[in-house]
Amino acid sequence: MITFGWRIPFLISALLVIVGLWVRARMQETPLFRLSQKKNKVTRSPLLTVLKTSWRQLIQGTFIVSVTYTLFYTLATWSLAYATTNLGFTNREYLFLLMGAVFVFAAFIVIASLNADRLGRRKVLISSSVALIVFSVVFPYLLQGHHNFFGAAAFLVIGFALMGIAFGPIGAILPELFKTEVRYSGSGIAYNLAAIVGAAFTPTIATWLATTWGIKSVGLYLGIMAVACFVSLITIKETKNVDFTK
């Protein structure tokens, strides 16, 4: 597994690229975009337009999404290294815990998405960001003691539940931040900027913080990202009942 086996999932995932290309080639434009085409409201330079007219939404969208990346890589990457080097877990033991917690993540994506349609995207995401701020303060205490199975399991289950709540409504709220004529470009840029801000260096930063300042500083790092998400959410309007055809 260490020398070659880990490559197999990556090789198999090449099939998903083919499936993605097939789906994209047959995908129709959304009804709203087709309506904009009829009204001649489609811009020929959506990238320039979104940077000029929707830069605030780009920043908001970036930080709304980035905390989910930071949380995911803290849970799935950094904590694996920390647990196997500092808490006495073997790779196999902790990976089994991770695999179980991922099912919690999947379940809460569905729950959060349904509630976002029922209660509003903003309400669900604000509640998740507040809960993440609390979690960032509490979780260092769960990752203490040698081979603390219940603490590690609680850390992963709670963390992935909050991850699901934070991630589920993003598919709705992120494109709804932007006007129809720049929606694809705006949501795409914000999502990929979030991957840079929230994910690219998270395992490295978290490892350095834990080594230099202790595990509580990792919680502080996650808390700062959650606060940035919270600030972004309170500066946007609810989009659940917005009529985008007008």
pLDDT recorded at residue 39:
58
Q: What is the pTM of this model?
A: 0.84
Report residue 125's pLDDT band, with 50, 70 and 90 as the boundaries. very high
Structure confidence by residue, pLDDT tens digits, 162-183: 999 999 999 989 988 988 778 8
List, by residue range, all CATH 1.20.1250.20 domains of the chain. 43-234
CATH fold for the domain made of 43-234: Growth Hormone; Chain: A; (1.20.1250)
pLDDT recorded at residue 49:
82
Candidate from 24-33, 102-111, 129-138, 234-243 with smallest mean pLDDT: 24-33
Residue where the block lists tokens 């931040």: 177
> What is d(CA 198, CA 210) in angstroms, rounded to the nearest whole number?
17
